[in-house]
Amino acid sequence: MLVRLPGLVDPHTHLRDLEWSHKATFTSETAAAVAGGYWAVFDMPNTPPATTSRSALDTKLAAIGQTAVCDWGVYAGASQADNTAEYAAMAGDVCGLKIFNNSTTGSLLLADQPTRDHHYAAWPDTKLIAVHAEEDTVLDILALVRKYRKRTHFLHISTAREIQYLQAAREEGLPVTVGVCPHHLYLTQADEAALGAFAIMKPGLKTAADRDALWQAIASGVVDVVESDHAPHTLQEKQSDNPPYGVPGLETTLPLLLLAVSEGRLTLERVIELVATNPRRIWGLACPPDTYTLVDLNAAYTIERAGLFTACGWSPFEGLRVTGRIRETWIRGCKAFDGEQVLVEPGFGRNLFGTSA
Ligand code: DOR
Ligand code: ZN
């Protein structure tokens, strides 16, 4: 059965390019996005040069503007440097401010609460703050949300305890939203031995009880968004002695959610909320006319390397049989993907935020 899903948005991707174009490019990863059914993706700032200044932002805006095949937004990244004044001038052109509060790929860690506080104080209310926060760090960030009342999206929440903190924050009336990732919904620490470096990401895989708590939080409404945290690294890097954190996800997120629909674990209506209407609402976007994805709910296939558009060319879900296949992706009246090929040219994508939108 073919169904139409309106304007999918993935607010959490690492598209690489610039000095990391050996990993992937804006063109290759936005191609993965349209093949994965997305209208738009938002790019994280932890790629050299990090998006922590007006000039680095301009470099990224120019490059992604010329090369993306889907619509897009980019985050500013909070930095240790005392340049918060510069951020107010960047806010107009970005989808939000990203603060890394626990260590991961790149060098953007803000480990001390006073620096986080400066960023919370300086960031304009017009755009939200998206945070990487794990375990007790969630409480540190909630203290800032309580103090400044600035809208905050908690990315890739992965444990039962974090869900409890955020559920309580919601009940308290704090302006927080919650994202979870497919790898934390479908994989646990029990998969680490078989997956090797393909199971290495931040936050790491957790217990079955944590995974179950995430599904429960999807059912209860505490989770607003399923986001991929698409983070391609080359096979060579992943197979090295020191594999970097991160897994690709743009092409597997929707099929995995549709698998859950076919198994009766989710309704299609809830999937649409998690990948389309909720991210659009949270980031204040309207779905453009004729922007939708056609999926075949009954088509089953096995996730394989050969079918992937991401430049990294691998997936932690290789070999998994899913039910639900992306047949077409339409963006602003143009067929961007026909089930096999990407049909739009680099530069077709538009900035959904700011002056060039
Ligand atoms: O696994 C991850 N990879 N988690 C992050 O927070 C960053 C990402 C990356 O950029 O590779
Ligand atoms: Zn991420």
User: What count of Cα atoms within 13 Å lies in the side-chain half-sphere of residue 52?
Assistant: 21
Strands 96-100 and 40-43: unpaired
Please work out whether the CB of residue 246 comes within 6 Å of at least one atom of ligand 1: yes
Q: Name all domains of the chain by residue range, CATH numbers in brackets.
A: 2-337 (3.20.20.140)
In ligand 1, which atom is closest to the CA atom of 233?
A: 11
Q: How far apart are CA 135 and CA 215, in angstroms?
A: 18
Q: How far apart are CA 219 and CA 199, in angstroms?
A: 26
Please work out whether the CB of residue 132 comes within 6 Å of at least one atom of ligand 1: yes
Phi-psi region of 189 (alpha: psi -120 to 50; beta: other; left: phi over 0): alpha
In ligand 1, which atom is closest to the CA atom of 155?
A: 6
Closest CA to 16 of 235, 283, 311, 240: 311
For 166-222, how does the pLDDT look when each residue is reduced to its tens digit (9 = 90+)? 999 999 999 999 999 999 999 999 999 999 999 999 999 999 999 999 999 999 999
- The pLDDT of residue 83: 81
Closest CA to 325 of 255, 276, 259: 255
pTM score, two decimals?
A: 0.97
Mean pLDDT of 306-335: 98
Structure tokens at 1: 């059965």
| The total number of residues written for the chain in this structure | 357
For 19-38, how does the pLDDT look when each residue is reduced to its tens digit (9 = 90+)? 999 999 999 999 999 999 99
Please work out whether the CB of residue 245 comes within 6 Å of at least one atom of ligand 1: yes
- The pLDDT of residue 81: 84
Between the CA of 262 and the centroid of ligand 1 the distance, in Å, is 30
Mutation pick for ligand 1 pocket among 42, 187, 201, 247 (CB with most ligand atoms within 8 Å): 201
Between the CA of 13 and the centroid of ligand 2 the distance, in Å, is 6
For 233-267, how does the pLDDT look when each residue is reduced to its tens digit (9 = 90+)? 999 999 999 999 999 999 999 999 999 999 999 99
Q: How far apart are CA 100 and CA 145, in angstroms?
A: 15
- The pLDDT of residue 84: 84
Between the CA of 44 and the centroid of ligand 2 the distance, in Å, is 7
Q: Which helix (H) or strand (E) holds 40?
A: strand 40-43
Q: Residue with structure tokens 């995995």?
A: 256
Measuring CA to CA, how many Å separate 353 from each of 54, 216, 303, 357? 15, 33, 33, 6
Q: How far apart are CA 255 and CA 268, in angstroms?
A: 12
